[in-house]
Each structure stands twice: as C-alpha cells, then as structure tokens.
Structure 1
C-alpha cells in the first residue's frame, strides 16, 4: 500500500473513531462534501471556476466554469446535480453531468459519535452508478473526514473500481473570524502508474452581512463530481467557488406564513433546565436542523466571542443581539418548519421543525 493510500485510510478511520456538529460550508474541503446536506427547502447554487495555464497560442489562461445545485429535503436528505462543460473524466469527452442523492442517518449534532452520510448518483459521461460513504468528526479546531467510493463504470472504462479519500479543515480563529484552511486527497485502490493522486487545498471564507461563502483553492482535478475529484491530472488548476443559498421552500409554501410564524414562536425568558439547547459556536448553529423530541422550548447559547442573533428568515421573530456567553429562549408552539439565520452573519442558518400528531396535537417524536 503506497503512502497516499495509507494517509487516506488513516483519515477515514480517524473520522469513524470519534461527536460531530452540524455543518456549514466552512466545514468541508474543496473536493469533499463532508456530508453537507443543507437546510430543508433551501436551494444552494455553487459556481466553481477552475483556471490553469495553457500551451495554446494566444491563450494564456484556460477557464473551466461549472455549476452545482443542491436542494435540502426533510429527514436530513438532499438531492443535487452538477454539470462541467470541460471535464476530462472520460477520454475525449468535453462535458460531464451527475445527479445524486445524499442522506445523513447519523449526526454528531444529535449526540452521535460522528456524522455519517451516504450518497448515490449517476454520472452521465461515464454511464456509471456511483456511491460514497462519508464520515467526519470535530477535534477542537480541527475537523477530519474520510470517504470510501465505488464506481460501476469508472471513467468510462467499463471496469468497476473503488477509491478512498481523506481531508481536514482547520479553523485557526474559530471564535474570531469565519475562515477555514482545508485540504484533501483521494486515491484509487488499483491506481495505475499513469494515474495521479487527486488533491486540493484552499481557504474557505464566510462573507459577513451576506448569505454567500467563498472558497479560493488549488487542485489537480477537472470537475467536482465523485469521479472528477477521485483521479488527478498533471496540471495544477487554481479555483474560485462562490455559494448562494436560496430559500426555495418559502416560495412554494413549505414554511409557515409570516403571520403563522409570528404566532408560532414565543420568546421565553424563563426557560427551565429541561429546555433543549442549540450551541452557537465557530460561526455556526451546532444543530442546524432541529426537531423537538421532548421539550419544544429551545435555548440558543452563544459560545462565540462576537454577537450573534437568531432571526426568522421572513423577519417575523428575532432574538435581538445575543452577546458572548448569553442565551435566548423561545417556545415553538405550532407545527411547521421555522428557518432562521444570524443577522450580522447570514451564512449562519438553521431550522426548527415541529410536526403534528394524528388528531392535530404536536408530535414529540422525530
């Protein structure tokens, strides 16, 4: 087993070994999703651009744009699609597309020891059914993650193949700035001498006062699909990726109306010790998809060193400023999905889902 394979396997074992909190895009690497699933009803549009030098006359820089879409669903699931017009996954191919579904059955934010996510999809360029198992864990300011991948028709060769991948995210100032340093690597289990190890490294940034996050990265891969980030090429590409979440559920009636949300969320300054809580830490709501199980009183505790808020996406209710070390509590008394964000840092987002029982009472079960 060569060195890159040993490193990838080690990262996967470390990720499986130990609790992982809910994620934002600051918690992943340029080429690993880290099990990200978004919020229910939120459409995330991602536009990665890869730049590289070229040997063609009168063309100094070659630009490869691509598009990624991901729609968050209830029950910790997501469906998505990607398109890369200049992919090199299949020899002689000029474009590549992939559709996929992702499900997170285990979450460290809900007291499990790790986040575990399953992904299955279809790569149209290779004609391949692809799958990935991802696991990840926070260890202080460091998040380690690993993935195992399988392809029914790898790179259009007609052969089924497997791969391992690993990566890490480091928050140098987790309670001061929404900035992360990230890197990853992937290797085919039966890699030939002419196949390079895939790698990427970058800086992930949450942009204050916007809903966007930005990634500046370098990689030797040509697209963001599972196959695209598994085999590297001989050319280093510099990348720029901008993310834009769109609350699609608000337009199709997935969420309560503004009036219903205002009536369904009641501030509760006298929350008792049985109230559940969401920790605000590392510029994120640690449990960003909360469903009440026993208590529908929820406390938000600010463990960062800056002021945050808990503000409804439609503006119908808000905590106001929650200073470092303080907390704010509310009762979620009506069925529905309530989405919220932080006023100064809108890329921080979360949701609370309260479901009715049969007969119209509130359901205390997930």
Structure 2
C-alpha cells in the first residue's frame, strides 16, 4: 500500500523520549503470522443479551470514575460486582457533533483501563488491563494522551516525577493502536484480534476495545451499500451474497465480545438531530448499526442485510452517551487546534440505556493536563 494517508502499523505508544522503543508490526505480517501460528481456542460458556458468563473473567473491570455515569450503569443493569459499574461485554456508543469531546471521553476511559489499581498505599482506581484502539480517522494524539495520563497520576499521587513516569510507561505498554484504512480492513483485523492477543499479549486481559470513529468511512461504505442494493434488485443476482463492510465489522466485534468479554466503546458522529427532542439527541445515520431507541432509527434499506443475520449474532448496545459542549461554562473548543495550556472546556454527557426511560447527565471538565469529573 503506497497511499501516504494509510498507516499499516500497529503501535504500542510510549512517551516522547522513548519513541525509539515503539513496537511496530505491519498488519500484513500480523495476519500472516496469526493464521499460520494460531493455537487460540476461545473459552466461551454462555451469553444472555449483553451479559456474558466467561471462564476467564473472574477479575472485575472497575468504575468509569464519572459519578453520574456510574450511578446510571449501576441502576440500569445487574452488575457482577459492587466494585465495577461495567460488566464484561458491555457495548457503549459515544455520539456527538464535531469537537463535542468524544475522543477525550475515550481517553478518560482508556486511562482507567490501562492504569494500575494502586501504587503502594495510594488508590489509583485503574483496571490494570490492556486496551486496543482502532484509530480509524488517524487522530489519536499520543502526546496528548500521555499528558493526560501523567496529569491524572500527578493529581492522585503527587510525589516524584520519576515514579509517575515509570507508572505511565508501564501503563502505556498495555495499549495497542491499529490504524486500518477501510471498514473491510477493520473487520479483518478484529477477526484476528484473538490470535494477536495470544501472541503479543498472552498474559494480559483486554479490558477495552475502542473504535474511533465508526463513521470514519461512512461515505465509501454508503456508496458500497448502494451498489449492493442496486445489484440485489436484479433478478439474476443471488440473494444474501453481499454484506456491507460495516456488517462485517459488527459481526467480528460481536464474536470477540462473546469470546473475550471486553467493554466495547464506539464513537460515532452526530449528524441528524431527532426532531423536537429536548435534550438534543441524534438519529442513527449508520446502517446496519444498533439503534435501540425510538425515533433514532435510520431509514431501512429495501435490501436489509440484518434480516439475513441470526439475531444472536447481532451486536447490541448496553448504553448510549450523547455529548455536547457546555457553552455556558466552556472557555474553548475541544479540538486539535486548542492550546491546552490556555483553555478549559466543559462537556455535558447524556446517558441512556435501552428499555429504561431514565436519562442521566454528567459533566466533564477538560484542561491542559487532566480530565476532571464530578
């Protein structure tokens, strides 16, 4: 692949002065190696809706450390532990307009995942697990992420810079970032993630799988879907032959969710407002994609691939988060152009769970060095 915009590497990202230690492996080499050497057998016992019973998930995940979000999750689901507001296999969609804070909420949750639970007698509140990020729009800022990670550790620990840096480095070693160039590449990579873990993270449990953003290839995927629908209208075309790339992604995610039980985080654009909604909510523009709330469904195509997929194989949302900037409190926009030494932004999150009428609100304050909650 010669496209300069396409990064075929999966990186373990570490602080700037250690960049020469970055682990790098091409996707082509990854897929070849896992197909030839794979010896992984998923340990899956049973699945009921979004709640799993997995043989290897005796360890709990943890809290989101956003008080209102944790309260909502505890109130709307049967949790496996009072110490964790999240269950293995939860699926969370994070939707919002540009610069609404989606990636920063993702940073916050990823930091929860990869940091240790404590250091000596200090409670850090981390999950001490690995995290995998699919950076679809190539916007994951490792410099920014490391700054936020060290900012949180400094707030919680104080102490020496060397101890904070050492914990940050060990935490970052649990992070993997892939940058597929299309939804098809994304689906293939997810489908081989189990083999990748058995080879490269054999002693780590993957706590989070994140895709930022599900909408990154919306327009080429939509064009492909239109071609499928046009071909399907032909009487000579075999039915149920073509599946859109996004459907392959969702099927691969559901398979890995069942076998490994990570929390799945999906960021998504907010394009079309739900009419007359208060608070402001967005319709789902992706198809096929989970849309469990009234008035959020996209128009169903004439050739609906979901009709041909067994219901138990479809990915389902555990909860949905809609983000907005709180302009009454914000002093800057949450964008890559912001000077993080000067600006502070306030983010409002609205949390909904399918089949539950309650909507909870939470606030985030994003500063140059930290993401503050509650």
Which bracket does the TM-score occupy, shorter chain normalised?
Answer: under 0.3
Identify, as 1 or 2, the structure richer in helix: 2
Q: TM-score, normalised by structure 1?
A: 0.28
Q: Which has the higher contact order (CA 8 A, sep 6+)?
A: 2
